[in-house]
Amino acid sequence: MNIEDVEKAIRIRWEDIERAWGDQFTTMDFPLLENEKIRIGLDENKQPCVVVEMPRNTGYSDSIQVSRGLFICIKSLRIKNQEKARFIISAEIGSELVYSAFLSDYLMTVDLKDPRGSFEETLKEWKNKWAGLRKPIGPREEEGLVGEIATLLELSIHIDDSAKLVDSWEGPLDGIHDFETSSLHLEIKTTIRDPPVVRVSKLEQLAPRESGALYLIVVHSEIVEGANTLPMYIDRMLNNEKLSSEKESILERLERIGYSPKHRLHYTRGFQISKFTCCPINEKTPILPPELVAEVPSTVTDIRYSLHIKGLDRYTMTSDAWEDAAKMMLQRDFTTEE
């Protein structure tokens, strides 16, 4: 048994309890760990939680927040007609997937003589893991990765060849554009601003292609409490049935970007995507001309600018538009016989 097995079982149990929940604290046993003192539940506010029976004569404590969206308390709870002190770890609705791996590790190692002390030890260990040499990716990289994953998931609906689709995800591998095939390149920009503005970090990113098309895909998002976080988007991608065979290639890309599961609890922002906008890029598109690079003095090593997309030809990506983009990606690159 490993953390992944326990994590999956906890999520399934939460789903079971949700179907039986009736506006009151509801718990169920957790057969996987074969210990009646450990239960999975939804509290009176429907927040996912784990419940561990405390030793006798334990004092109660009010709820305190130990990390964003994660709370602990000790209170009396009646289960199976037995009123006892219980140690309760609860997560805000929408944050349970962020914390499920941490909670799994805790339940696998908890000392039932001191559940609260075990929690502190496990939390300390995880904080040490998160504080490793590699730091979590920054907010802009986080937003960008969410947009790329959301785009990959949309494309997966219309492209059955998952290997070819994942192979086209070149952004994490230092590609000029985020998705590249011979017939179509996609440059993905996520914006949380309204009106939408995107940042162009390299002039080459929006340089019209000599052969093949280039689309700027703008992912419109806003930060909403309870919406899917970056780890949740990654879980959706890794658990996608079509993409399951390409898990190794996906993990390689996440590693190259700098994402580590050790930092799951760091990514607490929820991203609610409202729409995708496509801006075809060609010679007539009003952007900073890439040929300016030749005129830039050698003392200038980096040029970045913000682009207001309201001045560009654009349209909203519908299901039909995604299907058309998928067909373009497949035209020559994916249909070449080996």
Q: What is the pLDDT of residue 14?
A: 93
Residue 275 has pLDDT above 90, yes or no: yes
CA distances to 101, 134, 136 from 258, in Å: 19, 8, 7
Q: Are 265 and 130 contacting, i.e. CB atoms less than 8 angstroms apart?
A: yes
Q: What is the C-alpha to C-alpha distance for residues 164 and 183, in angstroms, rounded to an integer?
A: 13
Q: What is the C-alpha to C-alpha distance for residues 32 and 29, in angstroms, rounded to an integer?
A: 9
Choose between 206 and 295: higher pLDDT.
206
Percent of the chain at pLDDT above 90? 62
3-state secondary structure of 162: helix
Beta pairing, strands 213-223 & 184-191: parallel
Q: Going by C-beta distance under 8 Å and a sequence separation of 6 or more, which residues neighbour residue 33?
A: 6, 107, 108
Choose between 202 and 51: higher pLDDT.
51
pLDDT in tens, 309-338: 988 999 999 999 999 999 999 886 433 444
Q: What is the pLDDT of residue 294?
A: 66
Choose between 335 and 140: higher pLDDT.
140
Q: What is the pLDDT of residue 131?
A: 60
Q: What is the C-alpha to C-alpha distance for residues 122 and 176, in angstroms, rounded to an integer?
A: 42
Average pLDDT over residues 186-210: 89
Q: What is the pLDDT of residue 301?
A: 64
Closest CA to 192 of 153, 226, 146: 146
Q: What amino acid occupies position 48?
A: P
Q: What is the pLDDT of residue 306?
A: 86
Residue 199 has pLDDT above 70, yes or no: yes
pLDDT in tens, 56-78: 889 999 999 988 788 999 999 99
For residue 242, how many other CB atoms are within 10 A of its CB? 14
**Cut 0.85: pTM above it:** no
Average pLDDT over residues 126-152: 84
Average pLDDT over residues 105-118: 93
Average pLDDT over residues 214-218: 97
Residue 50 has pLDDT above 60, yes or no: yes
**Out of 63-67, 97-101, 211-215, 281-285, which region has the weakest mean confidence (pLDDT)?**
97-101
- Which two structure tokens, joined as six digits, stand for 320? 């039909």
Q: What is the pLDDT of residue 260?
A: 86
Q: What is the pLDDT of residue 337?
A: 42
Quote the mean pLDDT of the chain: 89
Residue 286 has pLDDT above 70, yes or no: yes
Domain ranges of the chain: 3-130, 139-334
3-state secondary structure of 309: helix
Average pLDDT over residues 188-196: 90
Closest CA to 267 of 60, 67, 128: 67
Place of tokens 């949309």: 154
